[in-house]
Structure 1
Amino acid sequence: MNRATLNELQRQRSYPSITMLLNTTPGITLSLTELDTARRLACHIDNRLDGDVSDALRLSLITRLTHAIDEQAGEPSSHALALFVSPEYSAAVRLARSIEERVTIDDTFTTRDLVAVFNRTALYRVITISEQTSRLFIGDRQRLVEQRDDAWPLTRNDEHTPTWARDLSDRLRTEHATDPLPVVVAGVQRSVRKFAPTLTETIGVIAGNHDRTSITELHHAALPIVNDWLRTDATRAICQLDLARSNKRYAGGIHEIWPLTLDGRVATLIVESDYTLPACIDHNNQLHPANDPDHPDVNDDIIDDTIEAVLQHGGASVIVNSNSNTLIDRQRIAAILRY
């Protein structure tokens, strides 16, 4: 999964948009127990759709969902599997962290756990830089994958140093515009000095020449840098939140944050990982907590919709551990406002 996949999922608007979230065992195909769980959740979805949509649409959606389950059954798993099916769209995404198993049916897909992947599973780039070549990798906690296409790897021919630096900078700028990620630079000091100033998302450096370093070695060298960066992510967000409060650019609690989100005023949303809230929305866009998340008039999780709305308005989202009590005095969700 990458940010482009997340953005594509969040652009979908259609009822019913079905999301199934299932925990799986990394490295092996779906077990019989996991398959039984997936099929039980599919039956639950079928029951919820009965009488809510036409029989023809319900049958089509359940058939496609069942096909997706069978298709994924023979593939090596990650920590969790997310299946998305709507009248116009379907997708399967493997997640690198465990989730709360559930299904949602709404006008949009539930992408909160995908957002958490970006906040918690160390998606990053590694760029190797030298006087003659540059390689680009995408990584998470478990592996690096080299990007090999028309743009990468980049090999220097007869270009003068300024031309080589400009070509490298242009290609990295294109990658960052498509999918902004933190960057670990690998290279000798003189090369890093020449080219790293163009990398605004740099979080650390792996010293030495790495033109021929294996992917496994690069991954082992990069991961401690990324882990240090991740450990400070929530701390940075809370510090920024405290500053926003003193500057009167703070909001706390979902009832205060929801209308501000719709107005595009939220710059950064900070929310506990397991905070969910089924709710109804009235004609004034006011929230009313609901006890029946399966009811057609109830939004399964208004917190997920809030996260999506923030991202769609160009804001950021930070998911923090619910056990950390970081937001205990902020009603489990808080926001830094643009104004």
Structure 2
Amino acid sequence: MITRQDLKQLQSLSNVPALSILLPTHQTSPDNKQDPIRVKNLVDEATKRLTTEFTSRELEPLLKRLETLVSEIDYRYTLKGLALYVSHDFAKLYYLPFPVPARVVIDQTFATRDLVYGMHRALRYWVLLLSQASTRLLAGTGETLEEVDDENFPMQMTGPGATAPLPYDTDSSYRDDRHRRFFQQVDSVLTLYQNQNESLPLVVGGVERQVSFFQEVSQNTQAIAPSLSGNFDKATIHELTPQVWSIVQSVREAQQADALQALDNAMSTQSVVSTIGETWRLAHEGRGKLLLVEKNYHVPAILTEDGRFELVDQPGGTEVMDDAVDEIIEVVLAKGGNIAIVDDEALSIHQRIALVLRY
């Protein structure tokens, strides 16, 4: 799962030319057969555009990086979107759990707007499947689950009762303590991932006893959603998805209800603004505590020469913000506020957007 730290890294890089290639992809056959063709066509378009603006000597290292990066795409594991970022000293690809429009961008910085949009609009969460044999972590975005396979996960318990036999005279309390210590270790590592992702909701799965031990020692209890009961050592993504999605939908409904209640409470104290212009201004002043936005609300806008915020009819052009709503979301998050994406028409009396103020 792409993280906010990944985004910050991409947004911090500045090198001419910075090449971004984005496209929607497919997770199943036969539709995914067309993905390599679409990548090739976009790479050809990028190469053609680059060669009209730069010399072959200037482009040689970048094009080699691009060729290598394309060769690393594993089309068996594509999700709903793909993003490739290449400059003279950077190259990275991301499998995205949300679709993005197909485009080639050559600029001073990488094009990350579509990634920002996807991360904000889709519900993201973790799924932690507990087991002393192989504790697994899955990253969820909407209905898409990705297995985390890195230096930390899957995580296996070691030592007595796991990779070594228990002492002959061991009682059950010793064995239980060993499990608690292991799940405490799991929780400590999980906290590192949570810190990178704004403390996302957490679905915990496992046999009842192990889930109980984890909840006893976890520092992430506030994030824990209803749990999954059972042994998931061999469970596939396909098998897990419907069970997890059922839980996640209930989490989303609860989050929306909490956010709308917070909005009602704030209205009684007149600490809410509900026009996009006022929301823009007060968000930039750092006064946004909670931003509520309908999930399909998008609007282009400009800032005039004297700094006024104005809506426009159509996106496009260097002076136009394609989606001022996403710009506001970024500002509120950057200044320590929270975001709630709610159902369409949930904010009909608030012009589809509302900002609960800190003061």
Q: Normalising to structure 1: TM-score of the pair?
A: 0.73
Deviation of residue 283 (structure 1)? 5.5
Deviations 1:120-168 (A, max 9, x none): 3554222315xx4561311332444154525751415249516445434
Q: Is the 8 A contact 1:147 1:153 kept in 2?
A: no
Gaps of 5+ in 2: 162-173
Aligned pairs for 1:30-179 within 5 A: 30=34, 34=38, 38=42, 55-56=53-54, 75-76=75-76, 77-83=78-84, 91-99=92-100, 109-111=111-113, 113-117=115-119, 119-120=121-122, 122-129=124-131, 132=132, 135-140=135-140, 141-150=143-152, 152-158=154-160, 161=177, 163-164=181-182, 166-179=184-197
Gaps of 5+ in 1: none
Partner in structure 2 of residue 275 of structure 1: 297
Decide whether aligned partners of structure 1 residues 187 and 71 sit closer, same or farther in structure 2, where only a CA change above 3 A counts: closer
Deviation of residue 203 (structure 1)? 0.4
**Percent of residue pairs bearing the same amino acid type:** 23
Between the aligned partners of 2:9 and 2:254, the Cα distance in structure 1 is 29
2:340 counterpart letter in structure 1? V
Partner in structure 2 of residue 194 of structure 1: 213
Instruction: Give secondary structure in 1 for the equivalent of 2:98.
Output: coil
Give the one of 219, 235, 238 matched to 1:214. 235
Instruction: Give secondary structure in 1 for the equivalent of 2:261.
Output: helix
Deviation of residue 330 (structure 1)? 2.0
Count of residues paired in the alignment:
326
Q: Is the 8 A contact 1:84 1:90 kept in 2?
A: yes
Deviation of residue 229 (structure 1)? 1.8
State the Cα RMSD in Å: 4.3
Decide whether aligned partners of structure 1 residues 219 and 35 sit closer, same or farther in structure 2, where only a CA change above 3 A counts: closer
Between the aligned partners of 2:299 and 2:195, the Cα distance in structure 1 is 34
Instruction: Give secondary structure in 2 for the equivalent of 1:203.
Output: coil
Task: Confirm or deny that 1:6 pairs with 2:26.
Answer: no
Q: Considering only CA atoms, is the larger Rg found in Structure 1 or Structure 2?
A: 2
Give the one of 261, 266, 271 matched to 1:249. 271
Deviation of residue 202 (structure 1)? 0.8
Q: Normalising to structure 2: TM-score of the pair?
A: 0.69
Give the one of 319, 322, 333 matched to 1:300. 322
1:302 counterpart letter in structure 2? A
Deviation of residue 230 (structure 1)? 2.8
Deviation of residue 33 (structure 1)? 8.4
Q: Is the 8 A contact 1:269 1:310 kept in 2?
A: yes
Q: Is the 8 A contact 1:20 1:41 kept in 2?
A: no
Q: Mean Cα displacement is larger for which, 250-259 or 65-74?
A: 65-74
